[in-house]
A and B are shown apart, each in its own frame.
Chain A
Amino acid sequence: MPRYLAGRFAQALLVLWAAYTVTFIILNVLPSDPITLQLSAGGADISQLTPAQLHDLKAHYGLDDPIVVQYFHHLWGALHFDFGMSLTQNVSVGSLISDKLPSTVTLTAVAVAVMLVFGLGIAFLATYVQWGPARTLLARLPAVGVSLPQFFVGLLLIQVFSFSLTWLPATGTDGWRSLVLPSITLALPGAAMLAQLLTRSLGDTWQEPYIVTARAKGLSRWTIQVRHALRNASLPALTLLGVLVGYTVVNAVVVETVFSRNGIGQLAQQAVLGQDVPVVQAIVLIAAGLFVVVNLLVDLLYSLLDPRVARAGRAA
């Protein structure tokens, strides 16, 4: 077990480093010049500067170093949670992000909870209910959820619950009431995917011989579903859940823009619009970090639920 854990941990670190490196490479083939961008954000033009001033500016941001030196410099900084200065706003990337992180983390956490409830609930009912039409409806419903664009769902919810029924606020970041619509929107595609996978694996599990055994010894369908089918069917769903959490964080970019919520997602949208490379780089690293941590947790949970995994890892 400890060896398995250490292996998984090393792998997670490697993925994090690789994600940083890949984005660094992509972002540094950038055709535009960061200095020009920064000046135009401040209302100035690059032609107003003397070559000496330009050189000073470049030196200030470390842009005159060779690309490899820049890479190690930034990597070293990122290891200390120092992501440099934003190019479009005159503040450090670190403070920008720490300002906005809590609201996005809250939103994502609530969305993941909603996703679990809906995903599990629909799959559970789709395999438990015995009335044909309801079964079919529940089995088909997730396909719709996967296909609807999130911005459409968000706008529809705003239209219905904020403008027509005036139950909930359409935009804003304060209070739990402003959290309801965004978290449902954010949770929807994930919940649908989870429901699809879980419905399928629950259906498969019901065909297993040990279910027949359980039926034969007189257990009720409810007991079988909860005690036997769900536990075995949840293993593949757990793997998917790790991936879905990562996607949920990233989809906050769209959802926070729709609901005008102040958070990392909106920051990311503005950073891409302004080609603010340090901010984008930092956001990628944070999202990738979260993704890696969640997947690490999923792996640990997996080896607890199914001890064969860790044992197989040791044998290999």
Chain B
Amino acid sequence: MPDKILSPKSHHVPDRGPDLVAAPERRAAEARAAAAAGPPIAPVAVTTDLSAAGGVTVSTVAPAPAPGDAGAGGENRRRRDDLFAAAGPLLRRPGFVLAALFVAFVIVSGLVPSLFTSYKPSATSGSDKLKGPSLDHLFGTDELGRDLFSRVLHGSTLTIKATGGAVLIAIVAGLTIGVVAGFFGGWVDSVLMRIIDILLAIPMLLMALVIVTALGFGLLPIAIAVGVTITPTFARTTRAEVLRVKEQPYVEAARTGGASWGRVLLRHILPNSWGPVSVLAVLDFGTAVLVISSLSFLGFGTPPPAAEWGTLISNGRNFLITSPWLSLLPGLFVGLVVFSLNHIARTLEEIKR
């Protein structure tokens, strides 16, 4: 019994463990990388060197470092090392790998559906009406004999477009508002943040419904509606990060070194506040997929015959008694996508902490 008192850890959710391991490892790798990068950069400008020193938190999760944009080979090598250091603990988590593989499958199959299915999404077949799932038709067929798996994959194309558009809108708008508010402060900050507060007070789906009412139905209105509704959280997070980074010594050093505010903003503040925002972006992919499929379930999506996930599920409702797979399998698919995205975001968050 007394050992319970001495080890309060046993009462804790078993989630936090790995970061304690991951953090020193990553820091060591970064230190090594920074040391390796030191000599080649040294002759360049003072500010570049500072950016390397300040870049301790530079997004270690960035999926692909743009090669050659910095001009110095050292920085590229440093980034590659960073990437490996970050990927290590991730690859040791089977759940994360599974989720990432599934999301990758959804993206690839959504972009090139013909890779995974030989059926056309609109090819009807009178003899194959409402067939249950089988090896021929993985998800069965619908009331017109169309292959449901193929329709789901082609639905992915639409959903990926809408989700990508929504998150892009949210990132661009949220980052801009957040940076402006955090960087300029004062009354600009107050006004922007009050507006954000109001937008946050209106529940997400309700706001999306209002925007859809105003813009009409279809893929683009849905993407805009969802993008606008998730913008406030991005703006909030970015502002908080900018406020934190703005006070860091390396920003002051860069200013003293003669860098203009614009340069400081682009080279130092933005890259260093990007981390938490990128995790939020992954998390919001999940939210966006949920809201988009809800909106298309309610009938505000693209008109037939093109069918988004939500539309497929909504159509399948009419056959729920006799052919439940028509709505349940696409529904399960959406659930798995959202779950995978959330799991990826949570793992990234844990590892960064």
Contact = CB atoms under 8 A, between A and B. Distances in A.
Interface of A: 15, 18-19, 22-23, 26-32, 126-127, 130, 135-136, 139, 143-144, 146-152, 155-156, 158-159, 163, 199-200, 203-204, 206-207, 211-212, 215-216, 246-247, 249-251, 253-254, 257-258, 268-269, 271-273, 275, 277, 280, 283-284, 287-288, 291-292
B297 interface: yes
Interface of B: 4-5, 8, 10-15, 197-199, 201-206, 209-216, 286, 290, 293-294, 297-300, 310, 313-314, 317, 320-321, 324, 327-328, 331-332, 334-335, 338-339, 342-343, 346
Contacts of A149: 290, 293-294, 297, 331, 334-335, 338
Contact of B12 (A18, A26, A206, A249): A206
B342 to A, nearest CB: 5
27 contacts: A15-B197, A18-B201, A19-B201, A19-B202, A27-B213, A31-B215, A126-B13, A127-B11, A147-B338, A149-B297, A152-B328, A152-B331, A155-B317, A155-B327, A200-B13, A203-B13, A206-B8, A207-B12, A249-B203, A250-B204, A254-B205, A283-B206, A284-B202, A287-B203, A288-B202, A291-B201, A291-B202
A257 B310 CA distance: 13
Contacts of A155: 313, 317, 320, 324, 327-328, 331
Contact of B203 (A156, A216, A246, A275): A246
B280 to A, nearest CB: 15
B209 A272 contact: yes
Contact of A253 (B216, B298, B343): B298
Nearest to A148: B335
A254 B294 contact: yes
Contacts of A269: 298-299
Closest 8 CB pairs of A and B: A152-B331, A147-B339, A206-B11, A18-B198, A147-B338, A250-B203, A203-B13, A148-B335
B12 A254 contact: no
Contacts of B328: 152, 155-156, 159
Given A22-B202, A31-B216, A149-B290, 20 more contacts: A15-B198, A19-B198, A31-B214, A139-B15, A147-B338, A149-B334, A151-B294, A155-B328, A156-B328, A156-B331, A199-B13, A206-B11, A211-B8, A251-B205, A253-B298, A272-B212, A272-B300, A275-B213, A291-B201, A291-B202
A254 B297 contact: yes
A14 B5 CA distance: 49
B347 to A, nearest CB: 11
Contacts of A246: 203
A199 B14 CA distance: 11
A296 to B, nearest CB: 12
A254 B8 contact: no
Contacts, number: 158
A163 B310 CA distance: 22
Contacts of A287: 203, 206
A253 B205 contact: yes
Nearest to B197: A15
Nearest to B225: A26
Q: Which of A31, A155, A203, A273: most chain B Cβ within 10 A?
A: A155
Contacts of B198: 15, 18-19, 22
A249 B202 CA distance: 12
A212 B202 contact: no
A158 B320 CA distance: 9
A161 B238 CA distance: 46
Nearest to A244: B203
Given A149-B294, A152-B331, A288 B5 contact: no
Given A19-B198, A163-B321, A147 B214 contact: no
Nearest to B309: A149
A139 B294 contact: no
B327 A147 contact: no
B211 to A, nearest CB: 6
Contacts of B211: 26
A247 B290 contact: no
A65 B339 CA distance: 50
A108 B228 CA distance: 26
Given A159-B320, A273-B300, A207 B210 contact: no
A26 B208 CA distance: 11
A28 B214 CA distance: 7
Contacts of A212: 5, 8
Contacts of B209: 253, 268, 272, 280
A158 B204 CA distance: 26
A147 B332 CA distance: 10
Nearest to B322: A163
Contacts of B8: 206-207, 211-212
Contacts of B286: 147
B203 A152 contact: no
Contacts of B15: 139
Contacts of A200: 13
Contacts of B314: 151
A31 to B, nearest CB: 7
